[in-house]
Every structure is written in C-alpha cells, then in structure tokens.
Amino acid sequence: MTDDLIGKSIGGYEILDVVGRGGMATVYRAQQVSMNRVVAVKVLPEKYINDDTYIQRFNQEVAIVAKLEHRNIVPVHDYGEQNGQPYIVMRYMSGGSADDLLNNGPLEIETIVSIVEQVAPALDYAHTKHVLHRDLKPSNVLLDDDDGAYLTDFGIARVLGEQGNKGITTQGVVGTPSYMSPEQAQGMPLDNRSDIYALGVMLFELATGRRPFESDTPYSIAVMQVTTPPPSPRTYNPQLSFALEEVIFKALRKKREERFPNAVALAEALKRAVNKPVASIHDTQPGMQRPNNPAPQSQQPVHVMPPAPPIQQIPVYTPTPSQPMTSGYMPRRRKARTSNNVWMSAALGGMLGCGLLAVLVIVVILAISSINTAPPASPAPTAEDGSAGEGALLPLDSTSEAARASLVPPDIQGTPGLAPVGVRETPTLSAALRGSGNQLIYFTERNDNYDLYKLDLESGLEVRLTFDPGADSYPSVSPDGRFIAFQSNRDGDFDIFVMDIEGENLRQLTDNTVLDRIPSWSPDGSKIVFSSDTRNDSTFDLYEIRPDGSGLNPVFSNGQRNSHPRFSPDSRYIIFTTGDAQDGGTWEIGRLDTQTDEFIRLTSNGVKDWSPSFSPDGSAIIYLTGENGSATAFGDSAIGMIATDGNTQRILYDGTSYEWGVSYSPDGSLIAFTAFSVQTAREEIFLMRADGTEVQQVTFDGGQAASWVPG
C-alpha cells in the first residue's frame, strides 16, 4: 500500500515503511538520523488533525506514558508535531507481539510463564503510578528479538483520580470486549483488579489458543463477561494441568475481591502451578462451578431435522438431547498475518476504545435489569448481527415531555398504541437516498430500557412502539408491512413475539427456557423463521412458526451454531450463519435449499463471515465479514457482498467502526446498517446506496438493527 510519508522525513526521522494502520493512527518503521537507529513512529492521520477529540486522546497517551519508566514497558523516545500533524516515537520491537505467536495455536507453558513474569511487574508498576491500562491483551504485549516482553498501548489508559477532559472518553466504558472485566463492561468504578482480570483472559488465550468468551458481537461478549462462567481451559487444551486451570479461574472471578490482589501474585501462582504434578485433588477451582461446556464439536454429517407434528398456539417445546460431542483440542482459526501487524494495536487502541463503546454501556442496563426484574438471569439482547462498539452513553435531551409533544403533529398525539417521542434532528436525505422506503423499525436503549421505535425518514418523526421493562430487540417487519416480529426477554429468557406495526395486539409465539432469537419472515408472510438454543449449550438450531403461534417445526440442525436465518425472495433458500459455537472465527454463510434439503457453505475461507441478508431480487447477499482484502476490517467488521451461488465475493463498504445490522430497502436501491457515530458517541442507523456510496447517518439518539417498512 502506498503512503505519502514513505521516503520522507518527519521531525528527524526518515520514514521507511508502514508497520500497521488503525482508525486512529498509522505506525511506521523509521530511521532516526541523529542516532542511526531504527524506531517506530506513530502518526495521527491528517484527517484527524483538526479534531480536538483525537488530538486530546493522542496527547493523553503521551502524558501517561511519560509517567511510566519500566524495563518492561515500551519506552517513548520523543514526541513532536510537523505541519500540525502530531507523532510519537517509540522503541521499535522487532519480535512482533504475543498475539502473533498465537497464529500457530497455544503457546508452550515455558513461553507463557516468561511473558507473564515480565508483563506482571510492569502492570503492577503502572498501578503504583495510579494508571489503569484498560486494554491489556496479547496484541498489546510486544516482543524484542531476545524474548523480552513489553507492555504497550496506553491510548485508553485511565489515571485514577483524574476527572479527564470532557471532550474525550476516558472515564466511561472503553476497551476491547473480549478482555473486559465484568465491572469494566458495566461502567463501574475500576481498580487494579480490572487489569488482573484482563491478564487472566490473556493467560487463558495463550494457554488454549482462544479467548474464554467468543461470540458474534462485542455486545454479546460483554454480556458474557458479566453473566457467564468461563469455560474450562482444559476443554480446549487437555495438556494443561488442573493446577494451572485453577490459576486462570481465580484470575477470572466475577467478583474482583476474589481475584489475585496484583499481577505479580498471579505470576507467582502460575509458576507454582507449573511446578506441580499434572494431577490435582480439585477438578475445579474451589467455589466455582465448572460449566457444562463440551469441547468444540468435530465435523459431523450435516442433516436436516425431520418434520414434527404441528404445535398449537403459544407452543412450549422441550429442548432435544444434546448430540454427542467429541473431545479434543481445536486451536482457534486465525488468518495468517504479516509483520505489518506487529504495531497494529498501537495504532488501533484509542480508536477501538472509542469506536466500540456504545454497545458496552448497554450492558450496564441489562445486567442490572436482569438481576432486578427476573428470577433467572435475563440475558441482554443477544445478537447475530450484533451491536458493536463502546461509545459514551449520552443522556436524553432535556426537553420536557410537554415540549416534545408540542413538536408532534396533532393527528399523532394520543393515538392508541403510539407514543410520540418527538421530532429528532431531521435527516435531510441526499437526493441519492430518497424515494426507496421511508420508514424504519429499529431498537435502541433509552432511559435504561430497550424498546422498538419507528422513524419516518422524510419528516424525522420517531415513535416509540414498546414499553415493557424487558429488552425488546431485533425487529423484522412482515412483507405486507402490517406486523413486526421481534425477540424479547419479558419472561426471563428471549422468546419470539409479534405485534401490529403500530405496537398493538402483542402475542407471544414461543415460550420456553432457552434463547429464541432474531426472527425473520417468509416472503409470503406465512412463516417466521428463527434460531433457538434448544440444548442450552450455545449450539443454535433453526425453527419456523406461524404468526399465530401454531405450526412450530424444526428446520435445520447440524450440532453447530446456526443463527440469523433469512429467506430468499422466492422462498427457495434460507441463508444463515453457521459454525463452531465456541469459535466465531469459524463462522461462514450457510445456504439451505428448502426444496431438496441440500446444505452448502457459500463462504469457507477461514475468515469470520456472518449475518447474511438477501437483496430483494434474490441475486445477491450482503453479510458481515472480518476481512477487507488481505487485511483485517476496520473495527473487525466490514459489509461484504456475494452472489447467491457463492461466487464474486467482494467488500462493499468498510468504515472505521464496527458495521452490523445490514438490510436492503424494499426496492434494493439502499442499504441500512448500524455503526458507531462520532457525532453522538452512540450506535446509530446509517443509510447508503446499494453500491456502497452516499453514506448518511439518519438517527441521532441511538438506533440498531433497522428493518424497512414496505410501502
């Protein structure tokens, strides 16, 4: 990839080549002329040099690292600015990152101990300086050519006791969901033990080749951090001893007071565990119930579930017994990387912390709501499309209810079933985005609750449709525009509901104790297809049901996670996400022929592909993918396109944040999707032309997973 800075000088440093690119910065390998040494130079892109938020975050990283002088923290040599473009000069680490070592599977125990022994004192040292890292992970541990391990990327670190600048998000929920402590995911006050939890996640990953919690969305992962016990590391790497497993379990305790008091204590416990015999008198960490998590399933013959007798209205069905699972180690599937990714985390840290924040603040609401309102723990709206991001949760505007009502046309006020929220910032749609469907149904969190909303794109009028304390999410509008199917945890677990387009005549279609998720209509409106965790082990099967609650039938099961089903316009096919329940990196786009029961994978490239949707003419499928060409997608998600036969795959759109919730307009000219908005620091609905151009934000108070209303 060409770069205008390569071959030029910035400050006293000759830029040699690009090491890594991220949404917030680019890292270069450079030659320091004055000292004839190779260094790494992190540069803020020109497009951000007039953005105070990014400038302040960049400066904050320098201020924090300047406090930290430790032999196992990557040192910063210099900081400067050229033509208004700030840069940071750091020691160049030629050995890559701990994350790069994982390309070949789990690490040898000796290597793990060496890394943890070096990083732990550095982490404790930062804590003595009142600095919390908040983004500890293998990609933020860099290596030299002599097996030295160094902590890096303090882009979203927090200095305890500082109030921070109001223009930047340093005090809220930021970080990488896979490594967040429960209290960090919930936006609670943090101390050093939050970083200890992240170190425990990293230890789990180094020892097994995968993270303890993996799902299709950062949002779902954050919920798991709060509510789900970690799986047994020995499930994924049977060579691990029980003693070492107990160390990992202690680091991953949900209650911080039950974790190790500091990082060095964890490192010392790790060394003792390695020196113990393989056998242990404890099969689990005392006091922690071992989850019933079987090993990843080996490949089994794909089959279609036989038809079942119709079930009458509001059916209750019993999960079928779990299929036999074979044990054995299966390393996480990872894309091969080049050395250009060594410093990627240094470039991405601040941007990912900002760009993924919105969804994780949501976890606060759902975790508290689940505990307070339902006897069993109610999961937050789980998603295949998935919410993404961590952005500051902005308060609702201060406009009074009376003032809001005055903004609503008189014929809308007081209409049964409608609750006018008011006219938000009315989007002035570009000419290219007009004339193709003018209403969207979506969900979002406001005032501590998830509900469904309807937006008129022409007038900007937004109407709240649901009011239950439960979490209502993932709406799907019927082909005739009269009904909305959605998922809700009103009775403690997610079930499928249907109501009129105005929010009236609610009826519950499924009623059981497992998760039923992400419904979608058949083209003639006679069926609703959805995914169900029938065995309560995260392997989802596909089911169909009639809109009146009758005719519940199994559609497809292969012992894997099958979710986000969507019919083709002619009802010939159902496409969906399929893959290992425990490893999102294995997920591909599956296609089931409803006439022949033939199942094929349209994608099979070792890259995470998920959440497909058909174009209205059935010729193309849009979906989410973790890859953009040969590089990881910005925010780990891009919008891809593929022909219905599986050919001509390409990236349609890849913004700087995590895109998800993609859907075509009724005439196929537009695509709606969800992404993090820098303007509102929340996840919002965006529209673009079907060719990936003319992107425009259309919600300004939160919006997720839009479904078009035919009209």
Residue 110: CB atoms within 10 Å: 9
Nearest Cα neighbor of 123 from 63, 178, 202, 189 is 202
Cβ atoms of 576 and 565 within 8 Å: the answer is yes
Residue 415: CB atoms within 10 Å: 12
Cβ atoms of 606 and 580 within 8 Å: the answer is no
What lies within 8 Å, CB to CB, of 609 at 6+ separation is 577, 587, 588, 589, 603, 623, 624, 625, 626, 640
Cβ-in-10-Å burial (0-12, 13-18, 19+) of 529 comes to buried
Question: Annotated catalytic residue: which of 135, 195, 472, 541?
Answer: 135
Alpha carbons 46 and 283: distance in angstroms, whole number: 55
What lies within 8 Å, CB to CB, of 587 at 6+ separation is 216, 561, 577, 578, 579, 580, 608, 609, 610
Task: Read off φ and ψ for residue 162, nearest 5 degrees.
Answer: -85, 140
DSSP-based three-state secondary structure for 77: strand
Long-range contacts of 116-119 (CB under 8 A, 24+ apart): 116/199, 116/203, 116/266, 116/267, 116/270, 117/267, 117/271, 118/72, 118/148, 118/149, 118/150, 119/72, 119/149, 119/150, 119/151, 119/199, 119/263
Q: Decide if 135 is catalytic.
A: yes
What lies within 8 Å, CB to CB, of 529 at 6+ separation is 519, 520, 521, 522, 542, 543, 544, 555, 565, 566, 567, 574
Residue 55: CB atoms within 10 Å: 18
Active site residues: 135
